[in-house]
Amino acid sequence: MVRWLVIGGVAVLALTIYALVDLFVTASNRLRAFPKPVWIAIIVVLPLIGPALWLFIGKNRPGVQQKPVAPDDDPRFMGTLSESAEERIRRLEEELRALDDEDNSAGEKSDEHSDEGPDDQPGDSTPPTPPRA
């Protein structure tokens, strides 16, 4: 009976070591449910259940595509932005106002210079005559 307990203990220890090594070599973007420190605690505290949980549900399989995350839903991406959302919105609104002002002023200038006579129709397809030398 003692022999079976020793064999079982060695098997559980080997499974725990295998799960920990597998956890350490797994990329962080493949983890599911918890970050690495939590998985370490689960594997160590729950001797047989923890390694089994890690091996079956702890990471995404290589062939399985993870649902893409929009950049504004990813806190790591949002942390890389140097300006706050309010500052960015304010800056973009100013840029839009400047573009609108440019378009309005350009539209007024083109209206001033459009002195087409009654014979000059926009649909006329007569080519201009080349200059003679």
Express each pLDDT in 47-63 by its tens digit.
Answer: 899 999 999 998 877 66
Q: Could you tell me if 6 and 17 are in contact, meaning their C-beta atoms sit under 8 angstroms apart?
A: no
Residue 117, in any domain of the structure: no
DSSP label at 117?
Answer: -
Contacts of 46 (CB under 8 A, 6+ apart): 53
Express each pLDDT in 78-97 by its tens digit.
Answer: 667 676 778 888 989 999 99
Express each pLDDT in 95-119 by its tens digit.
Answer: 999 998 888 887 666 655 555 555 5
Q: Could you tell me if 11 and 4 are in contact, meaning their C-beta atoms sit under 8 angstroms apart?
A: no
Residue 34, in any domain of the structure: yes
Residues 35 and 79 in one domain: no
Residues 1 and 57 in one domain: yes
What domain range includes position 102? 74-110
pLDDT at 10 over 80: yes
Residues 1 and 35 in one domain: yes
Q: What pLDDT, on a 0 to 100 scale, did the predictor assign at position 21?
A: 95
Q: Could you tell me if 37 and 56 are in contact, meaning their C-beta atoms sit under 8 angstroms apart?
A: no
Calculate the alpha carbon distances from 90 to 64, 73, 94, 103 in Å: 41, 21, 6, 20
More confident residue, 133 or 98: 98
Residues 20 and 51 in one domain: yes
Element (H, E) at 104: helix 85-112
pTM value is 0.47
Percent of the residues in the chain that have a pLDDT greater than 90, as a whole number: 35
Residue 15, in any domain of the structure: yes
Domain count, the chain: 2
Q: Residue 93 and residue 86: Cα distance in Å, rounded?
A: 11
Residues 5 and 46 in one domain: yes
Q: Could you tell me if 54 and 44 are in contact, meaning their C-beta atoms sit under 8 angstroms apart?
A: no
Residue 132, in any domain of the structure: no
